[in-house]
Structure 1
Amino acid sequence: MATELLTDKSISNAKSTEKPWTLKDGGGLFVLIHPNGSKYFQVRTTLHGKEKLVRLGSYPDMSLAEARDAAKAARKLVADGVDPIQHKRKVAESKALEAETTFKAVAQEWIEIKGSGISESYRSKITATFAANVYPRIGTLSVSDITSPLLLSTLRVMESRGALELMGKCRAWLCQVFDYAKATGKLKGDNPASCLVGVLKKPESEGYPTFLNRNDAGEFLRRLTDYQGRHETILAIWLLMLTAKRPSELRAAQWDEFNLDKAEWTIPKERMKTRQAHIVTLSRQAIAALEDLERLTGHSKWLFPGSDPTKPISEMTLTKAFRMLWPEYRVVPHGCRHFFSTMANEHGQFRHDVIEAALAHKDRDAIRATYNRATYIEERHKLAQWWADELETMREGGRVLPLRARSP
């Protein structure tokens, strides 16, 4: 066994000189002392008849005891015919690769790529859901180490608190993340999320709760007229019903998106679910509401600035207002779109394609979609005005306003 000659004190007291010099320990281990005072542990080995110097670490970050253990490990590798330098490099590369294949790293990479095809609000929802429900449990694990039971236990935490709709979306997003990991070579085995469809609870009803009929919508609107909340919130709900837009699209609306002279609101593609700019046609009632709102929030870039003036109101502002307006009735902000779609399609006076274009539903036929955007704007102006008149009629509880026959 090699004799150990050094002590921590002798290394600490060693002074630098004009040229590098060494303090020898045993078994090929020594300390190289540079003119600038830095001290490095190195071990001299012989592999395949060639001498190799292996740098172990710097003193005092690495203690003498740690250096002796590292030197012993290097000599063991050499005895097994392994180059310690190459081994150290491979270990470092393996750790770097492992850091790149943690679920959080892969998920963030997937979100970045997916972000080019989804709205900012949708991207934020995915990010927030993962941050709150997934990363704390599996974020630091390699995607290859994550099993189906582990994912199931992660999702069942959401299931236990009744967040079934969000849990279902989260499961679908997890499946896409692991599909991406497999496609990029980060996951070697099967997708652990693909088998979870039938083992989790489903929401009792699909879709968003909406008004069951015209009378219920009329009652809701009368309650809105008498609502004692902020006037901006009343106008937000009224505009949501008039335009049939997604709540996220309305609450993040900015004043420079509106042309009241043309009675149009252009939502930029970055905020659209379809990632295509969308023109919203405005009724006389919508323009009146916007002019009323401008007196309250025209100083801000947002139609509906939040408590933090640099951000719009939160998603919960409208959701809470809907609950307070009619606590015993189940309807949510997004349900206004469904009610508009049902009523407009049942009315029969407007083409289905016109209604779909007003809702900004993406046409799967790319050529037809281009044609639709170019030719439906006039019909959509008529549709918007008909819908606003219908809502006023529901609020007043009067007869249905007839629609003039469409020109052939």
Structure 2
Amino acid sequence: MVAIKLTDAKIKTLKPQEKVYRILDSDRLYIEVRPTGAKVWRFKFTFNGKESSMSLGEYPAIGLADARQLREEMRAKLARGIHPVEERKQLKQAKEEVFTNTFKVIAEEYAKERLKTKSPGYIGQFYASLEKDILPVIGSKDVREVTSADVLSVIKNTMKRVRSQSNRGTGEVTAIQNRKFIGAVMRYAIATLRAENDPTYAVRDVVARPDVNHARPLTREERIIVRTKLESYGGAETVKNAGLMLLYTMLRTIEVRRMEWAWVDFEQRVVNFPKTAMKKSRDHILPMSDQVFELLKTQYKNSGNKKYVFPAVYQSDGMLNQMTLNRMLKYIGLDAVSAHDFRATASTLLNEAGYEEKWIEAQLAHADDNKTRASYNHAKYLVDRRRMMQDWADMVDGWKE
């Protein structure tokens, strides 16, 4: 290594050679001239008895005076027992973590790792909550810096958004769900050593879940209205058929909405719902009554070339919107009735008519307390349930005036 007192003028005269060569300035600062023509400042030092060197940047972006100043800063770090190269690596890693440790990144990883067994509907709900309410507030924040105040902000914004949309409620349930989603992601971050606390705990009681309006059986007058007016419903035939399907089958609204043609077996006259489509995550068989069989044949003409039996009216590749069914009930004059009341009506009237409770419970797809028994019970009582469902469909048709 050649030792000369460098000046800017001298540095400019240094020409590249076939091999790298170095010119020492002073106090172990030197410039390295590479065959490419690049001139790089380097500082040689000793730490714990071991020789090391580090780059201080490229000339002319880093001038002579800058290089000497940086050398002095590195010497000051060494005097304090700090290894300047290791410190630089740690700072670089910290900067990278700002982008890889955000709530958004952790949330996406959580969904991929922990939601594998959840239903498509639940996963869709998680991503919708992220997009609508959560990520706009904390998506870009380092997961370690998410505070209870941030979570409270998400809660308040969620309720404001829901309340601004007509017929969507007051927002408490959605806000609570968003808090739970945030908590799940934060606990995953803690488990993977990327966070230390769950900020949702401090705000767990900020919003109270509203009282649940439990399903009730329809009155005689309401039964007459729903069956008679559905028959003459002037809206989309798909909406009408979905409403009749709810009446005839004791299915939940979401189960009717997400029903796929791939599950419909006209030859065996059953609909085979996979566990991913059911609220209780268990397979379910729906035996078709004559009315359901004819209804599905009619609906096949409308949507047989689509994935869903009852697709969205204006979006053929999506499910029918729940609000569409609610608006249909309102349109026919049943503001105080929910689709879930149809299940309560069937359960009440069939029990009163003397049908076996276990048949009714199986048809309602309620969870069996004995999980081992429930794993193979989805097809049990099928013959009895088929007869019961035919009787039920006849009862429903008997409501027409």
> What's the TM-score once normalised by structure 1's chain length?
0.80
> Which residue in the other structure is 2:138 paired with?
138
Deviation at 1:136, TM superposition (A): 1.1
Call closer, same or farther: CA 1:234–1:67 in 2, change over 3 Å. farther
2:216 and 2:344 in contact (8 A); partners too: yes
Distance in 1 (CA, whole Å) between partners of 2:331 and 2:25 is 79
1:291 is the counterpart of 2:306: no
SS in 2 for 1:116: coil
Distance in 2 (CA, whole Å) between partners of 1:54 and 1:117 is 50
SS in 2 for 1:280: strand
2:283 and 2:378 in contact (8 A); partners too: no
Deviation at 1:72, TM superposition (A): 5.2
Q: Which amino acid aligns with 2:133?
A: N
Deviation at 1:237, TM superposition (A): 1.9
Call closer, same or farther: CA 1:31–1:379 in 2, change over 3 Å. farther
Deviations 1:190-246 (A, max 9, x none): x3223434321432x315666643422331232322222111221122223322333
Deviation at 1:52, TM superposition (A): 1.4
1:174 is the counterpart of 2:179: no
1:44 is the counterpart of 2:52: no
Deviations 1:230-287 (A, max 9, x none): 1122112222332233333333332221111211111233333444332222221111
Q: Which amino acid aligns with 2:47?
A: L
> Which residue in the other structure is 2:107 paired with?
107
> Which residue in the other structure is 1:234 paired with?
240
Deviations 1:72-100 (A, max 9, x none): 55433322212222223333444455555
Call closer, same or farther: CA 1:291–1:312 in 2, change over 3 Å. same
Deviation at 1:134, TM superposition (A): 1.0
Call closer, same or farther: CA 1:82–1:235 in 2, change over 3 Å. same
> Which residue in the other structure is 1:300 paired with?
306
Call closer, same or farther: CA 1:58–1:374 in 2, change over 3 Å. farther
Q: Which amino acid aligns with 1:179?
A: R
Distance in 2 (CA, whole Å) between partners of 1:14 and 1:217 is 96
Call closer, same or farther: CA 1:267–1:92 in 2, change over 3 Å. farther
Call closer, same or farther: CA 1:389–1:115 in 2, change over 3 Å. farther
Give aligned pairs, total: 387
> Which residue in the other structure is 1:381 paired with?
386
Deviation at 1:31, TM superposition (A): 4.9
Distance in 2 (CA, whole Å) between partners of 1:25 and 1:249 is 78
> Which residue in the other structure is 2:230 paired with?
224
1:184-195 alignment runs, 5 A limit: 184-189=192-197, 191-195=198-202
> Which residue in the other structure is 2:283 paired with?
277
Call closer, same or farther: CA 1:66–1:208 in 2, change over 3 Å. farther
Distance in 1 (CA, whole Å) between partners of 2:15 and 2:214 is 76
> Which residue in the other structure is 1:34 paired with?
34
Distance in 2 (CA, whole Å) between partners of 1:346 and 1:25 is 100
Distance in 2 (CA, whole Å) between partners of 1:207 and 1:70 is 70
1:284 and 1:385 in contact (8 A); partners too: yes
Distance in 2 (CA, whole Å) between partners of 1:22 and 1:188 is 48
SS in 2 for 1:360: coil
Call closer, same or farther: CA 1:225–1:114 in 2, change over 3 Å. farther
Deviation at 1:22, TM superposition (A): 4.5
1:117 and 1:274 in contact (8 A); partners too: no
Deviation at 1:127, TM superposition (A): 1.2
> Which residue in the other structure is 2:207 paired with?
200
Call closer, same or farther: CA 1:290–1:23 in 2, change over 3 Å. farther
Deviation at 1:156, TM superposition (A): 1.7
1:51-130 alignment runs, 5 A limit: 51-56=51-56, 64=63, 73-97=73-97, 99-130=99-130
> Which residue in the other structure is 1:361 paired with?
366
Q: Which moved more, 1:262-271 or 1:205-214?
A: 205-214
Q: Which moved more, 1:152-161 or 1:71-80?
A: 71-80
1:218 and 1:391 in contact (8 A); partners too: no
Paired-residue identity, %: 27
SS in 2 for 1:285: helix
Q: Which amino acid aligns with 1:182?
A: I
Deviation at 1:295, TM superposition (A): 1.4
Q: Which moved more, 1:224-233 or 1:338-347?
A: 338-347
Call closer, same or farther: CA 1:375–1:270 in 2, change over 3 Å. closer
1:259 and 1:265 in contact (8 A); partners too: yes
Deviation at 1:289, TM superposition (A): 0.7
Q: Which amino acid aligns with 1:111?
A: A
SS in 2 for 1:175: helix
SS in 1 for 2:205: helix
* Pairwise CA RMSD: 3.4
> Which residue in the other structure is 1:247 paired with?
253
Q: Which amino acid aligns with 2:373?
A: R
Distance in 2 (CA, whole Å) between partners of 1:347 and 1:69 is 94
1:118 and 1:274 in contact (8 A); partners too: no
Q: Which moved more, 1:286-295 or 1:47-56?
A: 47-56
> What's the TM-score once normalised by structure 2's chain length?
0.81
2:282 and 2:378 in contact (8 A); partners too: no
Call closer, same or farther: CA 1:57–1:356 in 2, change over 3 Å. farther
1:244 and 1:340 in contact (8 A); partners too: yes
